[in-house]
Homo-oligomer: A and B are copies of this chain.
Amino acid sequence: MRGNLFAVAVDLVVLTVRDAELCALLVRRDAPPFAGRWGLPGGFVLPNEDLLETATRRLGEETGLEFGGHHLEQLASYAAPDRDPRGRVLTVGHIAIVPRPPEPIAGADAAGTAWHPIAKLVDGAAADALLAFDHGRILADGVERAQSKLEYTTLAASFCPPEFTVTQLRRVYEAVWRRTLDPRNFQRKVTSTPGFLEPTDTRVTGVRGRPAQLYRRGPATALHPPMLRGEN
């Protein structure tokens, strides 16, 4: 059974929406291999950890947001023999969704940590030149997963603070799908799905226009029927 052993790591595609753009958290590498390039946050799995425990721990360490409650799920594993020049390393990609965090990432243990709009990382051919290892592919897979999960789950609420308006929720869909949605049909769709949104007794104040109802996320996780992206 012995003979071919692997180091096992966890990599995180941490997504948020800032200024109507889907962004991923990247860390600048200051040691070889790929020194100077950007990479996904991650780390090795410790002897008594399960994969999700490693991912949870690293997410707290990288974002400074210690408390749990963020959406975190496994994405896929990557183990090409030559993906790491130091030796045989298998990495288990994960996807994490966080509400828009405070600008300087407080408490993060890595200095060179920053949010990057994914548009420039996934569309352009610049991705592979900019990112270390196969992180460009992992990132692309994570974005695709997030896009498709918005269709048939209530995952979008994970991008929002505890209380939010329908418009904030719509901005999440628009940023992740990179398209616009009809505000009126969107409103009906999400408010008429049982368990998606629970109204609070407060409304947004201080903005121009009619004040919007504030909602909390409800208990539902699935969306029946799904909200399809369409062909754009």
> Which of A22-30, A40-48, A208-216 lies on the face that meets chain B?
A40-48
Distance of A170 from chain B, by nearest CB (Å) = 22
Specify the chain B residue showing the minimal Cβ separation from A81.
Answer: B48
Q: Please name all residues of chain B whose beta carbon is closer than 8 Å to the beta carbon of A6 when the two chains form the complex.
A: 5-8, 45, 90
Interface centre among A4, A74, A88 (most CB of B within 10 A): A4
Q: Please name all residues of chain B whose beta carbon is closer than 8 Å to the beta carbon of A90 when the two chains form the complex.
A: 6, 8, 90
Q: Is the CB of A51 within 8 A of B74?
A: no
Complex CA distance for A87 and B48, rounded to whole angstroms: 11
The reply to whether the CB of A158 lies closer than 8 angstroms to some CB of chain B is no
Distance of A229 from chain B, by nearest CB (Å) = 10
Interface centre among A51, A77, A228 (most CB of B within 10 A): A77
Q: Is the CB of B4 within 8 A of A80?
A: no
How many A residues have CB within 8 A of the partner chain?
31
Complex CA distance for A231 and B222, rounded to whole angstroms: 12
Specify which of B4, B51, B76 is in contact with A46 (CB 8 Å cutoff).
Answer: B4
Q: Is the CB of B79 within 8 A of A50?
A: yes
Q: Is the CB of A4 within 8 A of B77?
A: no
Give the top 10 A-B pairs by smallest Cβ distance, nearest first. Answer: A5-B5, A77-B77, A6-B8, A50-B80, A51-B79, A4-B47, A77-B92, A48-B81, A6-B6, A8-B90
Q: What are 13 A-B contacts defined by CB distance under 8 Å?
A: A1-B44, A2-B7, A4-B45, A4-B47, A5-B5, A5-B7, A5-B8, A6-B45, A6-B90, A8-B8, A47-B81, A50-B80, A77-B92
